[in-house]
Homo-oligomer: A and B are copies of this chain.
Amino acid sequence: MGPGVIDSPLVQALDRIATDIDAAFDALLPVPDDARARLVEAMRYAAIGGGKRLRPLLLATTAEMYGVDRGAAIRAGVAIEAIHVYSLIHDDLPCMDDDALRHGKPTLHVAFDEATAVLAGDSLHAFAFEMLAEPATSADPFVRIELVQTLGAASGFRGMAGGQMMDLVAETSEFDLQTVTRLQQLKTGALLGAAVEMGAILGRVPVEGRAHLRGFARDIGLAFQITDDLIDHEGDAAVAGKAVGKDAVAGKETFVSLLGAERARTQAQVLVDQAVAHLAQHGREADVLRALARYIIERDH
């Protein structure tokens, strides 16, 4: 990504969140001195040093807008990233998407084995909720329980996991644009929405004050997925760090197959403009969120 693609405060924020999340996973997942060592090594392999950390960045940037302590935001960021990482581990399994490459390195079941991958995913899943429940995340139990509720709802069968199920069904069904949109809102959008929502919860923003943030997240979530479809359609596996061209092979309808590449690209741009408009009430403190929205459709991986 050249200097013209994304602006410098965003580059700094991306660097900073990657460093902070890696450091937090490293500190929170020490390798035990017994037969569980292999499990924690697997969790660390999947969790440390990979990915753009978009969800923690959304969470921490939103939290910062409301004056939240960085340490609390990073703990909640680790929790949501742990959910994201667990979902990727299970998604990559042979019985699911059967992917061998993730973030440019072998997927967990390839580097370790399938059983360890299932357990490491399950362990990161439980770890996320443990993180949120501990007093270090917030002294206020109302804040902690709302974080748990928000992340649980976003990741469970009504959210992310439900979207993944729809994605499995998509391989053998003819989905229309409305159904694909719903699928993606659940599969990817629910967790991105939870990220900004959790930042606002840490900032003690009441429910009614979060509507514009949820609107922002909904729009960038869809723009993000359309861009993913474009990357899968046109991308280069070496740059993407994962296999591309898979949707067409699987016979899945995507935004690109339904709209065509050109209209899909236009739609993503409209969504990003709309997302930025949701932030009108905020000043410079929302600049990173704005830059992030633009970056989401300009990235190539």
A residues at B contact (CB < 8 Å): 32, 34-36, 38-40, 43, 86-87, 90, 93, 95-96, 113-116, 118-119, 121-123, 125-127, 129-130, 132-134, 141-142, 144-146, 148-149, 152-153, 155-158, 161-162, 164-166, 168-170, 173, 175, 179, 182-183, 186
Q: Is the CB of B156 within 8 A of A130?
A: yes
- The secondary-structure label for the interface of chain A is helix
A130 to B125, CA, bound (A): 13
**Given contacts A149-B134, A162-B36, A182-B34, A118 and B116 within 8 Å (CB-CB):** no
Shortest CB distance A109–B (Å):
8
Q: Is the CB of B96 within 8 A of A157?
A: no
A161 to B125, CA, bound (A): 11
**Across-interface contacts of A87 in B (CB, < 8 A):** 122
Shortest CB distance A182–B (Å):
7
Q: Is the CB of A179 within 8 A of B35?
A: yes
Sampled A-B contacts (26; CB under 8 Å): A35-B179, A35-B183, A36-B165, A39-B161, A40-B157, A87-B122, A93-B95, A95-B113, A95-B114, A95-B115, A96-B115, A116-B165, A116-B168, A123-B157, A123-B161, A123-B162, A125-B126, A126-B156, A129-B152, A130-B153, A130-B156, A133-B149, A134-B149, A141-B144, A141-B145, A145-B145
**Given contacts A96-B115, A141-B142, A145-B148, A166 and B36 within 8 Å (CB-CB):** yes
A162 to B41, CA, bound (A): 12
Q: A96-B115, A116-B165, A129-B129 are in contact. List 7 more A-B contacts (CB 8 A).
A: A34-B166, A35-B165, A35-B175, A95-B118, A119-B164, A126-B161, A133-B145
Shortest CB distance A121–B (Å):
8
A40 to B165, CA, bound (A): 10
Number of copies: 2
A173 to B168, CA, bound (A): 38
Which of B32, B148, B156 touches A123 (beta carbons < 8 Å)? B156
**Across-interface contacts of A132 in B (CB, < 8 A):** 148
**Across-interface contacts of A133 in B (CB, < 8 A):** 145-146, 148-149, 152
Shortest CB distance A218–B (Å):
18
**Across-interface contacts of A149 in B (CB, < 8 A):** 130, 133-134
**Given contacts A115-B168, A133-B152, A145-B144, A162 and B126 within 8 Å (CB-CB):** no
**Across-interface contacts of A158 in B (CB, < 8 A):** 36
Q: Is the CB of A156 within 8 A of B144?
A: no
Q: Is the CB of B126 within 8 A of A35?
A: no
Chain B residue nearest in CB terms to A29: B157
A34 to B126, CA, bound (A): 28
Shortest CB distance A59–B (Å):
18
**Across-interface contacts of A38 in B (CB, < 8 A):** 165, 169
Q: Is the CB of A119 within 8 A of B35?
A: no
